[in-house]
Structure 1
Amino acid sequence: MSRKNFYHLTIILSILALALAGCGSAPDGGANENGESGDVRITIGTGGNSGTYYPLGTAMAQKIFSNVEGVSQARGVTTGASVANIQELAQGKYQMAFVQNDIAYFAAHGETVSDFDGKPVENIAGMATLYPEDIQVVTRKDSGLESLEDLKGKKVAVGDQGSGAEANAKQVLEAAGITYDDVEVNYLGFGDAAQGLQNGTLDAAFITAGAPTSAIQELGATQKVHVLSIPDDVIKELTEKYPYYTEQTISADTYKDQGQEEEIKTVSVMAMLIVDNELSEDLVYNLTKAMFEGKEALEAAHARGADITLESALDGMSIDLHPGAKKYFDEQGISTE
């Protein structure tokens, strides 16, 4: 073979080698032939922009995860929250999502929520639990509504249809002896519900979110609010029937500037982060570590960021942990058993 032909053959072989290496890479988090993970584009499913998930999720993406080794890009997107987030993570649209711990359990076990009944979601894993999400029943201060019983015959927003908030609203109403037939149901998310209360097209709205919730604060800027307490007997029934609910008291000071005059007795679930269980152990380890080491950014993004602690990171964990998260918690001496 001539030197010239040998030179040309060498170039062709080099190009082929590069092409094959490119085919073996994993830009979306899969493993290459050496078991090594390529850089990942992380999309985080959050919630509506008037809730708590969105500001925390965008802060995680922009301030923390975008700097993590193995991540090429990170962004948080607005969504329909828990149920939609799990469905779209299962479809590969998100690599991480905020969800309620009860909805994560229902999805993993294929029960209770109609979207998951008999159809368990198999590719979700837990990363960490974050903070309590309070069930808040909001009315206008001048509405005259003082109890759950007063909601009968009224126009009530119960959250987006099929959402975690709607599941909570239905369970609370049923525990109080109230069915959807007893109220005029409106399937509206946080922001639209606040607008409905403001313009008088709604009488009350259920919101499941960490307090203080921006939708309630925004409403209170123009219209004084009253957040109803859940009676003790209803709280007792909920906590006994559903293991994910815990009794919670929201200080009156939380919405003092919006017109609230007394503390609010209610129940809460836990917000949590789930990940696609196909993400590599190293990547999820790095993400978990970065979140807890950079949580000042979360505290700056929303008051609930202060509730995200290593010590409470597994409280109410309702599905199997991702091995990468487990590795981090084990290193930190947090029991994962």
Structure 2
Amino acid sequence: MAKRKFGLFTAIALAGSVFLAGCGGDTATDSGGSGEGGEAKDPEFLSVLTGGTTGTYYPLGGAMATIIENETGIDTTAEVSQASAANMTALADGDAQIAFVQTDTAFYAAEGSNMFEGEVIDTVSAIGALYPETIQLVTTADSGIASFEDLKGKKVSVGAPASGTYINAEQLLEIHGMTMEDIEEQNLDFAESQESLQGGQIDAAFITAGTPTGAVESLSATADVSIVPVADDKAAELIEKYPYYAKDTITSGTYGLTEDVPTVSVLAMLVVQNDLSEDLVYDITKAIYENTDQIQHAKAKLIKAETALDGIGIDVHPGAQKYFDEVNK
């Protein structure tokens, strides 16, 4: 049972949306909450929470919103947001229906740990994983920063407090024998990090996003970008302690890099309110995973039904599970 009051959540959701039964003329079965006689009452408007405009979630979310609207006939809009942690809270509060989130952040929400300490969210479930969210420690070639140890005493952007990026930064510093107290912590979003690196106000920035990331690409247009590597032994140590991480590589040519840079990643995923019907979530899932050719972003090629359940640490919505069971059998 969520520590949030479910009755309030339901009241907000009902007051904020006008519902209709079924989808495409069919009567749907509501997996999370049903109307009279068991008929689903899904919204006639869907909101997809993404992230900041210079990250990866926003352009992908815009493309997915268009696909969902075209395939389901439901008005769907992508919304700018504060990304993972804020998105989980917004869905639990009934402020949106679908959201992008990091797999590690969703796991914390489900168990009530880290930024969700004492606040279990069990009214949100998974649609599926999308692509690796690469942890990028970004600096410039003239900063003198070549390793994590070089961050000591430097001004480093670590994202908003309690954000997914912040926790990633905290855990990577930990593995390198450091804490937030060893740096001059700056709580900036991706766009602010880019501008501050360009202006020399900060020395480095943690950015967790699919590559190439818009903010880092913009930085590379005016400065020589350098990405601090995560050594193989440190990556292995991190994964052993926090198994939702995976080894990753930022390839040569990205941001003008002249060689591959080893690092780590979590996964980006889509989550949805439990209250949406099984039929509707099935249709949403099918729309996304069968129309990735309509997404004009490099990460689209990584979005596959075959790997959509990899790394998912929370319950999968029955509608999404039904789709993956059909295509992966």
Give the TM-score taking structure 2 as reference length: 0.88
Q: Give the distance between the partners of 2:194 and 2:94, measured in 1 at CA.
A: 32
Q: Which residue of 1 aligns with 2:215?
A: 215
Q: Which residue of 2 aligns with 1:133?
A: 133
Q: Give the distance between the partners of 2:41 and 2:92, measured in 1 at CA.
A: 20
How far is 1:37 from its partner? Answer: 3.1
Q: Give the distance between the partners of 1:242 and 1:285, measured in 2 at CA.
A: 31
Contact kept? 1:32, 1:38, Cα under 8 Å: no
Bigger shift: residues 148-157 or 32-41: 32-41
Q: Which residue of 2 aligns with 1:61?
A: 65
Contact kept? 2:135, 2:207, Cα under 8 Å: yes
Cα deviations by residue, 1:26-48 (Å, 9 ceiling, x for unpaired)? 34996442414344311011011
- C-alpha spacing 1:202/1:320, structure 2 compared with 1 (3 Å): same
2:323 matches 1:333: no
Gaps of 5+ in 1: 1-24
Count how many residue pairs are aligned between Structure 1 and Structure 2: 301
Give the 5 Å matches for 1:88-107.
Answer: 88-107=90-109
Q: Give the distance between the partners of 1:241 and 1:78, measured in 2 at CA.
A: 33
Q: Give the distance between the partners of 2:91 and 2:80, measured in 1 at CA.
A: 14
Letter in 2 for 1:37: K
Give the 5 Å matches for 1:160-309.
Answer: 160-256=160-256, 260-298=257-295, 300=296, 302-309=297-304
* Candidates 37, 40, 47, aligned match of 2:41: 37
2:323 matches 1:311: no
Q: Give the distance between the partners of 1:53 and 1:184, measured in 2 at CA.
A: 28
Contact kept? 2:305, 2:328, Cα under 8 Å: no
Letter in 2 for 1:241: K
Contact kept? 2:19, 2:42, Cα under 8 Å: yes
* Candidates 108, 111, 116, aligned match of 2:110: 108
The percent identity for this pair of structures is 48
Letter in 2 for 1:91: D
Bigger shift: residues 97-106 or 225-234: 225-234
How far is 1:92 from its partner? Answer: 0.6
2:297 matches 1:323: no
Cα deviations by residue, 1:291-324 (Å, 9 ceiling, x for unpaired)? 11211122x1x21111101111111111111000
2:132 matches 1:123: no
Q: Give the distance between the partners of 2:153 and 2:259, measured in 1 at CA.
A: 25
Q: Give the distance between the partners of 2:78 and 2:42, measured in 1 at CA.
A: 21
Give the TM-score taking structure 1 as reference length: 0.86
Q: Which residue of 1 aligns with 2:76?
A: 74
Q: Give the distance between the partners of 2:144 and 2:40, measured in 1 at CA.
A: 62
Greater length-normalized contact order (CA 8 Å, ≥ 6 residues apart): 2
Q: Pick the structure with greater CA Rg.
A: 1
Q: Give the distance between the partners of 1:152 and 1:292, measured in 2 at CA.
A: 43
Bigger shift: residues 181-190 or 223-232: 223-232
Q: Give the distance between the partners of 2:100 and 2:21, measured in 1 at CA.
A: 20
Letter in 2 for 1:238: L
